[in-house]
Structure 1
């Protein structure tokens, strides 16, 4: 029996309309009744995740910003990691051959220089939104991560440019097909889950995790029981062919799988 269960949010726990389904909430509560610790491992900001926990009365550790922050059940900061100021300066002040919009995250929230209401759809239930600022005036020593949002092929070309400029001084990953993130080196959900499991006195073999995108790859590969969503990015399934693929987030597949795992673990699982 796992002691810690970690969940990505978008494309995993959340349905396509960005809501947490009732079946999912009920199943997460069942895990807590079995004394299984919960961790939400997401690219979203802690300022957005805290109200969600309160809204659904869920007790969970928070791994936010794709591993840049870890918070305890009481809301205390357990671990933090920011981009090196020189890296932030390079990304924010260089000219990149891309049409993608740029978004900066720090402890104050989400900062961008373009008004893009369509990006707020994913946050309509939390009310979390960006602040419009001059990105070149943001203090480089306070940048947690930087995201580029746009067409996937354009972002793939941008990734080549960023790799050439930043080298090993940053970790680049796709948190979605239309979102490329610049993170501190060595920073990912898997590394954060390692810190959290050690803090709790668990081994990674005692953890299970669910995810759907390339920013979940390290987390899924490190735990004793990793599950990939049926709606996952093809690159993730190709990178981790040994891991089982469950159903689609639109059908609350995490809840479906966990109900089977809790009630009939002796039977072979089949996605809906």
Structure 2
């Protein structure tokens, strides 16, 4: 029924301790055995996501940086978009009225002025780490996205500042409760998946997708079959009430859903 399956990583495929469970891995391998294209669509950097896939013996297409980059199965870059230089320069040289830490992502890695060792736990499988640098000295070109990290209520206040400052020149999204991202206008996982599916000769109707956060919204809404995680952000569930909601990533709910779907792709699914 579908030719491509796209998966968010954190909060969807990965358990809360940022691992892929054995049942999930087996289900992904079953999809590839049936000649379905498997795609991972994540906010993570390529240098972070690709080693995780390699360690697990998985091969698939990669959408990284919440849609700013798309990679082929051999790691070749198929698509890239960056923040306009004037936008990036404005972000990096404005003294925002917030205690949130600022993080910049470029092809060479993750750059910040703030040592945040507590954030490294999410990257223990890949060993991906931030590089401390003076962000004001970064080039204005080549910045794929920036992230502000802080408690959610702090980011809500910052979101209003950013919206007032930039208007409709950028896209803002919460990739997690404590992470607010500034992305190139029109850049999201759904737009990137549309480009990838076209590259492969598919339409979005040929795709199914799984996700848990607001950065998954466009992807889930745009595919032929979108699936929302039980542990998804409440805002996502409210914005996509027509989509099925399955179990929690801690219980490897994606694996249970796929096992049911592979046995009987047309029958309804009841979450466990």
What is the TM-score of this pair, normalised by structure 2?
A: 0.98
In 1: Cα distance, 2:72 partner to 2:264 partner = 31
Structure 1 position 265, deviation (Å): 3.2
The 5 A counterparts of 1:1-272 are 1-272=1-272
Structure 1 position 269, deviation (Å): 1.1
In 2: Cα distance, 1:172 partner to 1:84 partner = 15
In 2: Cα distance, 1:80 partner to 1:267 partner = 38
**Larger deviation: 241-250 or 162-171?**
162-171
Q: Which runs of 5+ in 2 are unaligned?
A: none
Please give the per-residue CA displacement for 1:104-135, whole angstroms capped at 9, x wherever unaligned: 00001000101110010111121111000011
Please give the per-residue CA displacement for 1:155-195, whole angstroms capped at 9, x wherever unaligned: 01101111111112211000001100000000000000000
Give the RMSD, CA atoms, in angstroms: 0.8
Q: Which runs of 5+ in 1 are unaligned?
A: none
How many residues of Structure 1 are paired with residues of Structure 2 in the alignment? 272
Q: Secondary structure at the match of 2:167?
A: helix
Q: Secondary structure at the match of 1:141?
A: coil
In 2: Cα distance, 1:37 partner to 1:132 partner = 37
What is the TM-score of this pair, normalised by structure 1?
A: 0.98
Structure 1 position 247, deviation (Å): 0.4
Q: Secondary structure at the match of 2:141?
A: helix
Structure 1 position 149, deviation (Å): 0.5
In 2: Cα distance, 1:169 partner to 1:124 partner = 35
Structure 1 position 266, deviation (Å): 4.8
Q: Secondary structure at the match of 2:18?
A: coil
Structure 1 position 70, deviation (Å): 0.2
Q: More helix per residue: 1 or 2?
A: 1
Structure 1 position 96, deviation (Å): 1.1
Please give the per-residue CA displacement for 1:229-256, whole angstroms capped at 9, x wherever unaligned: 0000000000000000000000000000
* Structure 2 CA distance for partners of 1:3 and 1:266, relative to 1, 3 Å: closer
